[in-house]
Structure 1
Amino acid sequence: MRLVVVSNRVADLRKTTQSGGLAVALADAMRDRGGVWLGWDGQSNEKAESEPQVEDVGSVRVISLPLPKDEYENYYAGYANSVLWPLFHYRLDLISYDPAYLRDYHAINQRFADALIPHLQEDDLVWIQDYHLIPLGGYLRQRGCRNRLGFFLHIPFPPHDLLAAAPEHADLIKTLMAYDVVGMQTETDALHLKHYLEAEMTITPDEEGYVTSPGGRRCFIGRFPIGIDVEQFRRMAEDMPDDVHFDMMRNQILDRKQVIGVDRLDYSKGLPQRVDAVDRLLTRHPEMEGRFSLLQISPPTRENVEAYANIRDKLEAMTGRVNGKYSDFNWTPVRYIHRSVSRDKLAGLYRASAVAFVTPLRDGMNLVAKEFVAAQDPNDPGVLVLSQFAGAAEEMTEALIVNPIDVDDMAEKLYQALTMPIEERRRRHEWLYECIRKSDTKIWLEDFLACLAPPMDDAAAAA
Structure 2
Amino acid sequence: MELSRLVVVSNRVAVPDPTGKGSAGGLAVALREAFQAYQGIWFGWSGKVAAHPSSQPKLVDKERVQYALMDLTSLDRQEYYNGFANRALWPIMHYRIGLSEFSRADYAGYLRVNRTFATALAQMVRPDDLVWVHDYHLIPLAAEMRALGLTNRIGYFHHIPWPAPEVLGTLPGSRELLRAITDYDLVGMQTDRDADNLRRALMQEFGAAQRKADIVDLGERQTRVKGYPIGIDVRGFEQAAQRSGNHRIVRQTAAGLGSRQLIIGVDRLDYSKGIPERMEAFERFLIGNPDQRGRVTYLQITPTSRSEVPEYATLSRVVNETLGRINGSLGEPGWVPIHYVNSTYPRSVLAGLHRLAKVGLVTPMRDGMNLVAKEYVAAQNPEDPGVLVLSKFAGAAQQLTDALIVNPNDKFEVAEAIRDALYMDRTERITRWERMMNAIRETDVSWWAATFLRDLSGNKSLGRTRTQVRA
Indicate the TM-score class for this superposition, using the shorter chain for normalisation: over 0.9
Q: Tell me which of 177, 200, 203 is aligned to 1:195.
A: 200
Structure 1 position 169, deviation (Å):
1.1
Structure 1 position 218, deviation (Å):
1.6
Distance (Å, rounded) in 1 between the aligned partners of 2:210 and 2:106: 32
CA offsets 1:211-238 (integer angstroms, 9 cap, x no match): 1224x22211000000001001111111
Q: Tell me which of 220, 227, 231 is aligned to 2:231.
A: 227
TM-score (norm 1): 0.95
Equivalence for 1:356: 360
Distance (Å, rounded) in 2 between the aligned partners of 1:248 and 1:455: 48
Aligned residues: 454
What do you get for the CA RMSD once the two structures are aligned?
Answer: 1.5
Moved more, 21-30 or 254-263: 21-30
Q: How does 1:207-356 map to 2 (within 5 A)?
A: 207-214=212-219, 216-240=220-244, 241-247=246-252, 249-250=254-255, 254-356=258-360
TM-score (norm 2): 0.94
Distance (Å, rounded) in 2 between the aligned partners of 1:31 and 1:330: 50
Q: Tell me which of 365, 374, 382 is aligned to 2:369.
A: 365
Q: Does 1:22 align with 2:32?
A: no
CA offsets 1:231-280 (integer angstroms, 9 cap, x no match): 0111111111432442354266x321111101011000001111101110
Note the residue ranges of structure 2 that are not aligned, 5 or more in a row: 461-471
Equivalence for 1:7: 10
Secondary structure in structure 1 of the residue aligned to 2:232? coil
Q: Tell me which of 414, 423, 427 is aligned to 2:427.
A: 423
Structure 1 position 383, deviation (Å):
0.7
Equivalence for 1:169: 174
Structure 1 position 33, deviation (Å):
3.5
Q: Tell me which of 409, 413, 425 is aligned to 1:405.
A: 409
Equivalent residues of 1:151, 1:179 under 8 A apart: yes
Equivalence for 1:461: none
Secondary structure in structure 1 of the residue aligned to 2:365? coil
Secondary structure in structure 1 of the residue aligned to 2:54? coil
Equivalence for 2:133: 128
Moved more, 27-36 or 390-399: 27-36
Q: % of aligned pairs identical?
A: 42
Equivalent residues of 1:72, 1:108 under 8 A apart: no
Distance (Å, rounded) in 1 between the aligned partners of 2:300 and 2:449: 31
Note the residue ranges of structure 1 that are not aligned, 5 or more in a row: 457-463
Equivalence for 2:159: 154
Amino acid at match of 2:351: A
Amino acid at match of 2:204: A
Equivalence for 2:465: none
CA offsets 1:58-113 (integer angstroms, 9 cap, x no match): 11011011111111211000000000000000000001111110000000001110
Equivalent residues of 1:129, 1:151 under 8 A apart: yes
Equivalent residues of 2:384, 2:426 under 8 A apart: yes
Structure 1 position 427, deviation (Å):
0.6
Q: How does 1:92-131 map to 2 (within 5 A)?
A: 92-131=97-136
